[in-house]
Amino acid sequence: MSLLKNLPNYEPIARLQNEFKNTPEDLIAGIIPALEQILLSQLPAGAHILELGCGSGYLAQQLNIRGYKVTGIDASEGLLNYAKKNAPESEFILSDIRSFELSSVFDAVLANDVLHFIQNNEDLKTVFKNVYAALKDGGVFVFNIPITDWLHEAAQKNNFNIVSVNDECSLIELFYYKPEERMWEIKVTGFELIEKNWKRSDTVWLRKDHFLEEVQSALKDAGFTEFNYYNTKDFGESEDIACFVCQKAPLTS
């Protein structure tokens, strides 16, 4: 069975993702200041960054503007078509993040809102091992991931639904939490105006919340021995998501 079958299907709503998700304005207001604080300030000029689940390429674009070299990986061909336009200075690879193999040439690896959709510990370990192999000695891995220890109680009470609208598109994301599985079913509906007609697209994503100790164990299994984590609320986000900063051990003489 192809690994791709277990990933969210972005093909029907690639245009809507490009319109609404991780736009330059959102990145400059939120993610970029956090990255400058925990990662970018530590990297050499022109550092080579690997971005997992790069989507439509807006984060790669912002990193290019700041002088970094970026390689992006995503399993959606539709999103990568936008990424190539939004960040033409970057290289993009069509791949499942659980199956890529790259040599150890990267100063850093980023995964923003990507590991939410990894649904079991074995796949999580595989991703971490792929990242470890791609990092230079001393390289840094930064990712965020939902932690069920923090979210379980709030998830049963709060409304996490998202509605995004402009003159030609709308994207509706309805979140349904399954407490016994610590899993979210996200029903996604999009509308886009095409030649004066509205086209509707529907898809379903599954998001898994992981236990903190399982994430830590998976990192150690992959080879990471040095890592810290933060709550993204500390960076102004609204949800209790863990942000991990991990380092591959530097080469010792």
Domain 3-147+210-247 has CATH 3.20.190.10: no
State the burial class of residue 137 (Cβ atoms within 10 Å of its Cβ: 0-12, 13-18, 19+). exposed
* Mean pLDDT per 10-residue interval, the chain, length 253 residues: 58 94 94 93 95 97 98 97 98 95 96 93 96 97 92 78 96 93 94 94 93 96 94 75 93 62
Q: Give Cβ neighbours of residue 34 (< 8 Å, ≥ 6 apart).
A: 232, 235, 243
Hey, where are the domains in the chain? 3-147+210-247, 151-206
Question: What pLDDT shows up at residue 156?
Answer: 77
State the pLDDT at residue 2: 34
Three-state SS at 1: coil
Fold of 151-206: N-terminal domain of TfIIb (2.20.25)
Domain 3-147+210-247 matches domain 151-206 at the CATH topology level: no
**To 5 degrees, how large is the angle CA 55–CA 57–CA 58?**
115
Task: Identify the helix (H) or strand (E) that includes residue 145.
Answer: strand 135-146
Integer angstrom CA distances of residue 138 from 73, 143, 169: 22, 16, 43
Residue-level pLDDT at 6 = 61
| In the chain, alpha helices (H) | 14-20, 24-29, 31-38, 58-65, 77-86, 121-134, 148-155, 212-222
